Structure 1
Amino acid sequence: MKNKGLFFTIFISLMLLLAACGTSDTEQNTQEDTDQNSQQADDNETASTHWNEIEEAGEIVVGTSGTLYPASFYPEESEELTGYDIEIIKEVANRLGLEIKYETMAVDGMLASLNNGRVDLVINDMEITEERKKQFSFSDPYKYSYTTMIVRAEDHSGIETLEDLDGKKAGGGATTVFSQIAEHYGAEVVTYGNATNDTYLRDVDNGRTDTVINDYYLQSLALKAFPEFDIVLHPDLKFHPTEQAIVMPLESNVLNEKINETLAEMREDGTLTELSEQFFGGKDASKQPEEDIVEIEGLDL
Structure 2
Amino acid sequence: MKKRLGIICSLFVIVLLLGACGTNGDSNSESAGNDKTWEKIQESGKLVVGTSGTLFAASYYPDGSDELTGYDVEVVREIAKRLDLEVEFKTSDFNNMLASVQNGRIDVAANDIEITDERKEQFAFSEPYKYSYTSMIVRKDDLSGIHSLTDLKGKRAGGEASTNHSKVAEQLGAEVVTYSNATNDVYLRDVDNGRTDLIINDFYLQSLALQAFPDFNIMIHPDFKFDQIEQGAILSKDAPELKKQMDKALDEMREDGTLSKLSEEFYGGADVSQKPDEELPTVDELLEQEGNK
Name the TM-score class by shorter chain: over 0.9
Question: What is the CA distance between 1:250 and its match in structure 2?
Answer: 1.7
- State the secondary structure of the residue aligned to 1:119: coil
Return the match for 2:81 from 83, 94, 102.
94
Separation in structure 1 between the aligned mates of residue 149 and residue 19 of structure 2, nearest angstrom: 51
Question: What is the CA distance between 1:16 and its match in structure 2?
Answer: 4.2
Q: How does 1:40-189 map to 2 (within 5 A)?
A: 40-189=27-176
Letter in 2 for 1:193: S
Separation in structure 2 between the aligned mates of residue 159 and residue 17 of structure 1, nearest angstrom: 79
Separation in structure 2 between the aligned mates of residue 34 and residue 287 of structure 1, nearest angstrom: 47
Question: What is the CA distance between 1:272 and its match in structure 2?
Answer: 0.8
2:196 maps to what in 1? 209
Separation in structure 1 between the aligned mates of residue 250 and residue 7 of structure 2, nearest angstrom: 56
1:255 maps to what in 2? 242
Separation in structure 1 between the aligned mates of residue 152 and residue 16 of structure 2, nearest angstrom: 56
- What RMSD, in angstroms, separates the aligned Cα atoms of the two structures? 1.5
Report the more deviating stretch, 22-31 or 150-159.
22-31
Separation in structure 2 between the aligned mates of residue 17 and residue 158 of structure 1, nearest angstrom: 82
Following TM superposition, where does structure 1 have runs of at least 4 consecutive aligned residues deviating by more than 4 angstroms? 15-18
Question: What is the CA distance between 1:137 and its match in structure 2?
Answer: 1.5
- State the secondary structure of the residue aligned to 1:140: coil
2:290 maps to what in 1? none
Separation in structure 2 between the aligned mates of residue 242 and residue 171 of structure 1, nearest angstrom: 20
Alignment TM-score, normalising by the size of structure 2? 0.93
Separation in structure 2 between the aligned mates of residue 185 and residue 150 of structure 1, nearest angstrom: 15
Separation in structure 2 between the aligned mates of residue 142 and residue 17 of structure 1, nearest angstrom: 65
Question: What is the CA distance between 1:21 and its match in structure 2?
Answer: 4.5
1:289 maps to what in 2? 276
Structure 2, unpaired ranges of 5+: 286-293
- State the secondary structure of the residue aligned to 1:297: helix
2:195 matches 1:195: no
Report the more deviating stretch, 288-297 or 193-202.
288-297
Distance 1:49 1:16, change over 3 A: same
Listed one character per residue, the Cα deviations across residues 62-103 of structure 1 (whole Å, up to 9, x for unaligned) are: 100000000001111111111110110010001111111111
Letter in 1 for 2:129: Y
Question: What is the CA distance between 1:159 and its match in structure 2?
Answer: 1.2
Separation in structure 1 between the aligned mates of residue 18 and residue 151 of structure 2, nearest angstrom: 58
Return the match for 1:230 from 217, 223, 227.
217
Letter in 2 for 1:199: V
Question: What is the CA distance between 1:32 and its match in structure 2?
Answer: 2.7
Question: What is the CA distance between 1:18 and its match in structure 2?
Answer: 4.6
Separation in structure 1 between the aligned mates of residue 117 and residue 156 of structure 2, nearest angstrom: 27
Aligned pair count? Answer: 285
- State the secondary structure of the residue aligned to 1:229: coil
Between the aligned residues of both structures, percent identity stands at 51
Separation in structure 2 between the aligned mates of residue 181 and residue 232 of structure 1, nearest angstrom: 19
Letter in 1 for 2:170: E
Distance 1:161 1:36, change over 3 A: farther
Separation in structure 1 between the aligned mates of residue 232 and residue 8 of structure 2, nearest angstrom: 51
Letter in 1 for 2:259: L
2:15 matches 1:28: yes
Alignment TM-score, normalising by the size of structure 1? 0.91
Question: What is the CA distance between 1:43 and its match in structure 2?
Answer: 1.3
Q: How does 1:261-276 map to 2 (within 5 A)?
A: 261-276=248-263
Separation in structure 1 between the aligned mates of residue 174 and residue 36 of structure 2, nearest angstrom: 44
Structure 1, unpaired ranges of 5+: 1-12
Distance 1:18 1:200, change over 3 A: same
Separation in structure 1 between the aligned mates of residue 18 and residue 133 of structure 2, nearest angstrom: 49
Question: What is the CA distance between 1:25 and its match in structure 2?
Answer: 3.7
Separation in structure 1 between the aligned mates of residue 168 and residue 13 of structure 2, nearest angstrom: 52
